[in-house]
Amino acid sequence: MFKIASLIASAGFVSGASLVEQVHLGAATSEIDCDDGISVEFASASDKPMTVSYSAKGHSSKSATTTVESYSVTSTPYNYTSPFFHTALLCDLKSTTTYSYEITEGKEERGDSLFKSKFVTPPSRGSDDVPTVFGIVGDIGSEHIMDTLKSMAAGMNGTAAQALFVLGDYAYANGQHEQWDAWYNQGQDIFSTVPTLGINGNHETIKGGGATKPKDKNKYFAENYIGYIHRSNNPITAAQKKALRTYFSVDIGLVHCVFLDDYAGTRGEDKSFIGSQEWLDERNLQLKWLKDDLSSVKRKKTPWVLVLKHNPYYNTWNKHQCQCDTTRFEISDPERCWKGIYDNSSDAAVAKQPHCANQAKFEDVFLKYGVNMVIAGHVHAYERTAPIVKNKVDNKKGIVYITTGAGGHGNICDRLDMIPSWSVAATSKSFATTTLVATEDDLSVYTIDNKDLIILDSFKLTEDGVVDLQRNIDQNGGGDCNDDD
């Protein structure tokens, strides 16, 4: 049985607490001119810049002033104006070090104290002083958020997670932006102590209807990135945000992490955009960026390369399937598929399930540059494949694909009638998260039941291939069928 590390540092409001909420941390990089940094974002009713002071034991205190922004949505009959979002960049921090931080009113540290907490910085690029540990899951929602976040943050064998990765479908606001506010407040105890990175899914881009049931499709419209971009606190530039380009990469410890946007080029509910030249141009821009990014990886520093995204290519559950060829999971005409021409499907299907089109080009890039693992959500279940090259098991050159979308917003029940030989482990009986532990010698992965903290599936990658560690799941097990995609 594994040991659970200490979850979170003490965090909490102090005087004037009502002025600050939704406190959450992100990772800052040279991409936003903040090397070895942590970004602190929070919401406030005040549009005046505030101060975040921070210090590590034995070091003098420093401070950073927040930038401030907000957004509004006007679409009859729904109107929403966000609180003011404050972001402070804490740069040039020492790695694997505990920092205390405090939010105060005004541009000076002597202002009224509003919030205090602590965080531990992740290991620096290439550092092997401690294992590199991430908590990973998609499709969290609100129903089981604290169980999920605690499981993500727990880490493994005494080492807490140094970062949390959300693989899309955060709050399921679906255009009802008050749900975003509620979601970040629900998770604040952990979000304010562990940096969180993530990529958008369909519920941040093309899905409308609101967070409540029954969905009100005539009131709440698809967000087209706006809530995600203003709140997710990822290391992307203002120009990227304006252009709705959300893909990015970071180096943490021994791992190069690439976050890809499966919905690049979409424009909310406008299905007519699919297939247009502008849509294709945006897709090609991400493809070029991916090639440039992976070609520059220094494997001596970061021997392990992960791709993190929302939609799974290799998925044997019956939800979120797409097909570009007569044989499922195979693409005989990549150019046709890349342009969004699926077998027996429409532009609406391409918008909802873009991963087939992306696979037509991206999989070759992953293979060329030796990506070790591709991890996705979207499907509210867990699945692990054997190493795959183009729909075939290849233990020498293949990539392991993981679906970890059992973050708490429902389960799915049924699988495809024909299960390919590459599907090694699968279940949707539990809400579960995935913990990744990297050392120089191996990359170990544990998927853990949120409630009972049982390891459902675990394995490790080494230079010699995949080694199974432990498995406690029924390969055909479904969930309780309360899925909301």
The two structure tokens encoding residue 379: 């499907």
User: What is residue 3's predicted lDDT score, i.e. its pLDDT?
Assistant: 31
Mean pLDDT of the chain, nearest integer: 92
State pLDDT tens for residues 258-283.
Answer: 999 999 999 999 988 998 999 999 99
Give the pLDDT band (50/70/90) at residue 17.
very low
Q: What is the 3-state secondary structure (H, E, C) of 24-75?
A: EEEEECHHHCCCCEEEEEEEECCCCCCEEEEEECCCCCEEEECEEECCEEEE
Q: How many whole angstroms separate alpha carbon 200 and alpha carbon 428?
A: 22
The two structure tokens encoding residue 131: 């294992």
CB 53 within 8 Å of CB 61? yes
* Displacement of CA 41 from its chain's centroid (Å): 17
Looking at mean pLDDT, say which of 29-38, 105-114, 475-484 comes out highest. 29-38
CB 116 within 8 Å of CB 12? yes
User: What is residue 480's predicted lDDT score, i.e. its pLDDT?
Assistant: 61
Cis peptide before 49 (omega within 30 of 0): no
Q: How many whole angstroms separate alpha carbon 364 and alpha carbon 221?
A: 35
The two structure tokens encoding residue 22: 């939704």
> DSSP alpha helices (H): ranges in 354-464?
355-368
Q: How many whole angstroms separate alpha carbon 51 and alpha carbon 448?
A: 38
Q: Which residues pair with 78 in a beta bridge?
A: 75
State pLDDT tens for residues 22-33.
Answer: 999 999 999 999
User: What is residue 289's predicted lDDT score, i.e. its pLDDT?
Assistant: 98
Q: How many whole angstroms separate alpha carbon 461 and alpha carbon 374?
A: 13
The two structure tokens encoding residue 102: 């405090």
Mean pLDDT of the 66-88 span:
95
State pLDDT tens for residues 335-381.
Answer: 999 999 998 677 778 889 999 999 999 999 999 999 999 999 999 99
Q: How many whole angstroms separate alpha carbon 260 and alpha carbon 355?
A: 11
User: What is residue 66's predicted lDDT score, i.e. its pLDDT?
Assistant: 97
Q: How many whole angstroms separate alpha carbon 100 and alpha carbon 47?
A: 24
pLDDT at 7 over 60: no
State pLDDT tens for residues 231-257.
Answer: 999 999 999 999 999 999 999 999 999
* Displacement of CA 397 from its chain's centroid (Å): 26
> Which residues contact residue 40 at a Cβ distance below 8 angstroms, ignoring those fewer than 6 apart?
23, 24, 25, 52, 87, 88, 90, 101, 103
pLDDT at 158 over 70: yes
CB 37 within 8 Å of CB 21? no
Q: How far is CA 53 from CA 23, 33, 89, 177, 192, in A?
A: 14, 19, 11, 30, 14
Mean pLDDT of the 444-460 span:
95
CA-wise closest residue to 363 among 336, 386, 396, 391: 391
The two structure tokens encoding residue 198: 């993530």
Task: List phi, psi (to 5°) of 288.
Answer: -65, -45
Tokens 């929403």 correspond to 80
Give the pLDDT band (50/70/90) at residue 107.
confident
Decide: helix, strand or coil at residue 386: coil
Determine the straight-line distance between the first and last CA of the chain, rounded to whole angstroms. 33
Domains, in order of start, for the chain: 124-471 (3.60.21.10)
Decide: helix, strand or coil at residue 154: helix
Sheet holding 382-385, edge to edge: 248-252, 255-259, 304-308, 373-376, 400-404, 382-385, 423-427
The two structure tokens encoding residue 144: 């089981």
CA angle in degrees (0–180, nearest 5) for 13-19-23: 60
User: What is residue 109's predicted lDDT score, i.e. its pLDDT?
Assistant: 65
Give the pLDDT band (50/70/90) at residue 482.
low
Report the length, in residues, of the chain: 485
Classify residue 271 by its DSSP letter. G
Burial classification of residue 476, based on how many CB atoms lie within 10 Å of its CB (0-12 exposed, 13-18 middle, 19 or more buried): exposed
| Confidence (pTM) | 0.95
Helices H / strands E in the chain, number of each: 9, 27
Mean pLDDT of the 284-297 span:
98
Amino acid present at 201: G
